[in-house]
Structure formats: C-alpha cells, structure tokens
Structure 1
C-alpha cells in the first residue's frame, strides 16, 4: 500500500519528474552550510522549482503548489538557546524573489481561509532577529490545519529544539506531503495532507516525524528510507544505507501546559486513512471509504 501511495505522491502532488534542469533554479552549491555534507535534499527536478537561500535556512520552492517542497536548517544549541529570549514580533511577507503568479500572497491567508500560516522552518529555531524575520517569508509557509499547527506540530517542533540542546547540533529538513487532492487555498495554494520533519544528528543517526495535516492527535517516527519512499524527497542523500534504514529514537512531543500530548502510532496506521486509488475524489464511495478510514485513525490516536 505504501508503495502505491508513494507513486501517487510523486505523480500527483510534487510533480518532480526527472528531466532537464531549469535555468531558473539556483545553483545546487548555494548555501552548502545549511545541508548535511553540503548536499541539499534530493528530488526529481522540475522547471518550476527554485532554491532560495536565507541567512539560516533554505527552501526549495514550487511554483505549482506555491509552497516549499522542503525547508532545511542546520540547528545548533547556541542558536536555539538564544531563540528562547528573542521576542516573536515579525510579520509574514510575500517572497520578493518569486514572481507574483508563482508565490503565495498575504490575501491567500486572509480572513476565512480556515488554515494557519504554518512555518516549515519555525521562527523559534532562530537566535538572531534578522534570521527570525526571514522565517516569516511565505515561501516558508504551508496552509496548516490550526490543530496541527498549534498543537501536534508545535509540540514536535519544541521536542526537536530540546533534542538539539541535548546533542549540540542537528540538520533538519521539513516539508509537506501531497498524497491526494486535498484541495487548494483560495484556488491557488495546494493544501498538504501530511507534514514531515527529518532530523539527522551527526554520529548518532537520523529519523523523521510525520503527522497528518488535520486534527488527528497522532504522529509517527519513520526511517529516512521510509520517508523518502512516501514523500518523494530524500532529505539527506549523503547518509549511508544502514543509517537510512534505521530510525533514530526521537523524543516524544512536548505539549504546552494543559494540552494533551499526541500519541505515537505506527506509520501504517497514520497513513492508512489515505487511499491511493485512481477513483476521483468526488466519488461518493471513495469519500465514504476515506471518511471511515480517517475515523479509524482518529479512534486509534485517541485510544489509550
């Protein structure tokens, strides 16, 4: 099933067919300090993808989805410690390096949107004011379900920073996954079904969190090989095979005071609510099956 879903991911959402490299893409050697071993995440290349380097992170932006394909960071203990005392008073802004018809706009996320402006590289990771301000580029944002953004995913972001404080340094790549036609925001921005965060700790190993972009209070931890198979993005292409196949033991979510922690579930359970058949999303039976499997995933997540 996961193999079929991965094929659907590549075909439908990311549209990263291998082919001629675009002259619009920034050089793959740009901002190498952000990436593990200086190598950016690997995907099939498409003319509508563009690499954007910022002070402390980098994104591969897709003009098709009007979101990032991935957002990469090199986190250090010093940076995340400094970020604790940095006030969060920056404003979201449209990315000026992207053409207007290829980028998200502030109006897209205006009143009634129903989705939060969800950071991929979160502002809480950056210990300098200028770097934090750059994290508010809409090139670093996806339409994120409010529960995911404010609860499950926020808790996992906090745990990622706690891990970095413990180990000293880590490479982190975060991105959306488009598995089925979840629709668009304002008819312009593709809405992802999942959000993932891959973490590589040099000398220790690597793994990834993955969660649904909805109100499901659950998440999974997968190996880098599993993640790449599912989403079509290899966040750390230089890793040796044994490290790719074995998931590092990542810390559980860190909930805010008074909030319930999301439950760790198997990846098969988390992804099982997705159907990768060719049946159109408008088909009533397809909708019924999808709703039923989603309810099973919710029930499993809430069960203790």
Structure 2
C-alpha cells in the first residue's frame, strides 16, 4: 500500500514537472529568468496562467497569460539571435482548455481534427486566429520575437497566439522592429547571457467583439551578464498608437509600470540586476 502511494506521488510530480501550464515558473522553467527570479506579483492579472512554452518536447520561453483579456502579460526568454527563415504557422496552447489536453503547443486544425476539439471550445480558453482577421491598423505583434532565437524550432515556438498582442502595425514594423533588430544587437555586444522580459499593459479597447484586449503600451527589459562580477540593464516602452520607442533605465521602466498598473512596486528582475 505504501509503495502504491509513493508511486502515485511520483507520477504526480512527474506530471507537474512536464506540464506546460504550470503552477509557478520557479519550479518548472526558471532558466528563462535572471537568478531564476520571475517578475513579482505586481503584474499578475485576476485570471492568470503560467505557461512554460513547449514545442517539440522542449521549453523555449515562459509566458504569463491573462485568460480574461486573452493576451500575454509578459514573455521571458534568453536572447540568442541567429539567421533563419520566418515561420509560417500559428499555434495555440491546448492545456489552457484543461490539463488533459496535449502539453505542447499545436495548430488549431490539429486539435480539431485529431483531438475532437471544437473551435468554440478552444476560443473560450484563449485567442484564436479568427480574432486577428480583418484588423485595421493593427497586426499580430510578438512579445518574444522569432528573430531573437537561433534555430527553426525556437523560432517556431514564438508563433503561438499566447505570445501575441494586437499591436499598432506602424509601430510593429517601425520603431519597435528597430529596437528588436538594431538596439538589441548593439546593446548585447559585451553580454555573455542576456535575459529578456517583454510585456504589454492592458488598455481600454478590444478587438474581435470584445474578446481580445488591445494593450495601451508595450515594453521590454533586459538584464545582461557581462561576466560573473559585472551586469548591465536597459529597457524601452512604447504607446501602442504611436510609432515611437523610449529608451529607459530598468528602474525607470519599473517605476512607469508601477504607475500604469496602479498596484505595488513592480520588480522585473532579481535585485542583483542594476536599475540605473
């Protein structure tokens, strides 16, 4: 009897350890955060989901997802850019429907055809492709961009709708793209490891008949380990109706987010990451 109980506990632990929708990042995919420390609870929505983004049986980044607004709060990843083509598929997160579904992201049609899931069932749990059709002045904006990853699988993993927000198309293809491709390249020249947390501040407007929130701001922050004794950081923020990105210190961004969210003081990285 005792042996059976121990086996049940072990099985439970293995399930939790390999589940994609998890109870905490610290216990499941802490490697995407500096000093294994995720942002504090000041950014948590009322109905959160912690997702260790899994594709081809490997974790590639972490996303805190707002189930009610159907957008990510933030995505965290390691900056490891490389050459390659842009993926052409879009994926969704099955376990947002329930833990009995696949633990790895899948295409919508795979869930419908192979698992008997209806689109109505899927759309109750998250944003779907239909929500992003026929947009005017907006497009699908990555938080974690595919260009910051080094191989085909890691780039494909960013093409999940749990990593996407409705973003101003001029910003997405203009100043924000310049930050992702040019500023990040220059700022990380001396970095051995760069941890990134990029997020979206919920706004007052929605797309898809009120289903998906349009963020008021997008922001990104980075903590760079130059060596064991030296670190540096930087951050940016952009209003989601202007083609303009403001370069900030990490401390300035945390203070701005504290004001925008109106909650406790925001902390995006472990205290060993410099705020100036």
Say whether the 8 Å CA contact 1:228–1:235 is kept in structure 2: no
Unaligned runs of 5+ in 1: 1-23, 247-304
- Aligned position for 2:206: 183
Normalization by structure 2: what TM-score? 0.70
Q: Which runs of 4+ in 1 moved over 6 A?
A: none
- Aligned position for 1:167: 191
- Aligned position for 1:51: 50
What is the DSSP-based 3-state SS (H/G/I as helix, E as strand, rest coil) of the residue aligned with 1:57?
strand
- Aligned position for 2:235: 208
Give the distance between the partners of 2:88 and 2:29, measured in 1 at CA: 24
Normalization by structure 1: what TM-score? 0.64
- RMSD over aligned CA atoms reads 2.2
Say whether the 8 Å CA contact 1:61–1:139 is kept in structure 2: yes
Give the distance between the partners of 1:111 and 1:46, measured in 2 at CA: 28
Tell me if 1:65 matches 2:69. Answer: yes
Give the distance between the partners of 1:97 and 1:148, measured in 2 at CA: 32
Give the distance between the partners of 1:197 and 1:41, measured in 2 at CA: 13
**1:161 and 1:92, CA in 2 relative to 1: closer, same or farther beyond 3 A?**
farther
User: Deviation of residue 40 (structure 1)?
Assistant: 1.3
User: Deviation of residue 226 (structure 1)?
Assistant: 1.9
**1:228 and 1:51, CA in 2 relative to 1: closer, same or farther beyond 3 A?**
same
**1:154 and 1:51, CA in 2 relative to 1: closer, same or farther beyond 3 A?**
same
What is the DSSP-based 3-state SS (H/G/I as helix, E as strand, rest coil) of the residue aligned with 1:160?
helix
Tell me if 1:230 matches 2:259. Answer: yes
The structure that is strand-richer by fraction is 2
Count matched residues.
213
Correspondent of 1:142 among 152, 165, 169: 165
User: Deviation of residue 43 (structure 1)?
Assistant: 1.9
- Aligned position for 1:103: 126
Give the distance between the partners of 1:119 and 1:219, measured in 2 at CA: 18
Map 1:1-304; keep pairs closer than 5 Å. Answer: 25-28=22-25, 29-44=27-42, 45=44, 48-54=47-53, 55-75=59-79, 79-80=80-81, 83-84=82-83, 86-99=84-97, 100=122, 101-158=124-181, 159-178=183-202, 180-202=203-225, 203-224=230-251, 225-232=254-261, 233-236=266-269, 238-240=270-272, 243-244=274-275, 246=276
User: Deviation of residue 228 (structure 1)?
Assistant: 4.2
**1:93 and 1:27, CA in 2 relative to 1: closer, same or farther beyond 3 A?**
same
